[in-house]
C-alpha cells in the first residue's frame, strides 16, 4: 500500500513527514511518519570516461540511521534489432558514509550511448518503522531522485 499525504510539499522538506494511507479491503486507514532526509549535494561529473573511476561524495554528517544514497549511471542505445535498450551500473551506501568510488571496470560492458550521454541519477532513501491502532507493525518509506545528463566517453 502506498502512502498518500494531505500535503505533498510536506514530504519534500527535510524533517518528519506524515504518512496517512486511506486503507484498503483488508486494512483500515492508519497513520505514521517518516524522516525526510536532506537531499545529498552531489554534483554530477563533467563527463564520464570509460577509463576513469567516478568518485562520488557528499556530507555524511547530514545523516544518521537507515538512510541510503544511490548513484546510477545508465546509457540508452539501440540494439541490433532496432529496439531501444538501457543498461547501467549502480552503487549504494549508507548516507552517513560520505561517499564511494565507482570503479572504471564497471563501465567496460556498457554500450556506447546513441546520444553520447549517460543518465547520472542520485537518489536518497529513508525508512521508519511504526505501530498504530490499525496496524501492528508498519514501515514508511521515502525516496527522492534527480537525474542529470552527462557526456559518456
Q: Domain residues of the chain, as ranges?
A: 39-151
Q: What is the mean pLDDT of the chain?
A: 83
Is the model's pLDDT at 4 over the cut of 50?
A: no
Supply 150's cell numbers.
552527462
Distances from the Cα of 118 to the Cα of 36, 98, 109, 149, angstroms? 28, 23, 14, 6
Give the confidence band of 1 by pLDDT, cuts at 50, 70, 90. Answer: very low
Give the confidence band of 136 by pLDDT, cuts at 50, 70, 90. Answer: low
Say whether pTM exceeds 0.95: no
Distances from the Cα of 49 to the Cα of 56, 74, 91, 113, 150, angstroms? 14, 13, 17, 12, 10
- The residue that leads in pLDDT, 140 or 82, is 82
| Mean pLDDT of the 93-119 span | 93
How high is the pLDDT of residue 9? Answer: 43
- Express as a percent the part of the chain with pLDDT over 70: 83
Burial class (CB in 10 A: 0-12, 13-18, 19+), 36: buried
How high is the pLDDT of residue 146? Answer: 93
Amino acid at each position: 500500500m502506498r502512502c498518500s499525504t494531505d500535503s505533498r510539499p510536506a514530504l519534500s522538506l527535510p524533517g518528519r513527514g506524515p504518512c496517512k494511507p486511506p486503507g484498503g479491503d483488508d486494512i483500515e486507514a492508519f497513520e505514521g511518519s517518516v524522516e525526510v532526509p536532506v537531499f545529498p549535494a552531489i554534483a554530477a561529473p563533467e563527463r564520464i570516461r570509460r577509463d576513469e573511476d567516478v568518485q562520488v561524495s557528499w556530507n555524511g554528517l547530514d545523516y544518521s540511521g537507515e538512510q541510503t544514497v544511490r548513484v546510477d549511471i545508465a546509457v540508452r542505445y539501440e540494439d541490433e534489432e532496432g529496439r531501444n535498450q538501457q543498461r547501467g551500473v549502480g552503487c549504494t551506501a549508507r548516507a552517513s558514509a560520505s561517499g564511494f568510488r565507482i570503479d572504471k571496470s564497471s563501465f567496460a560492458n556498457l554500450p556506447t550511448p546513441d546520444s553520447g550521454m549517460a543518465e547520472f541519477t542520485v537518489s536518497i532513501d529513508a525508512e521508519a518503522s511504526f505501530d498504530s491502532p490499525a496496524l501492528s507493525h508498519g514501515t514508511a518509506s521515502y525516496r527522492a531522485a534527480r537525474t542529470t545528463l552527462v557526456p559518456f566517453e
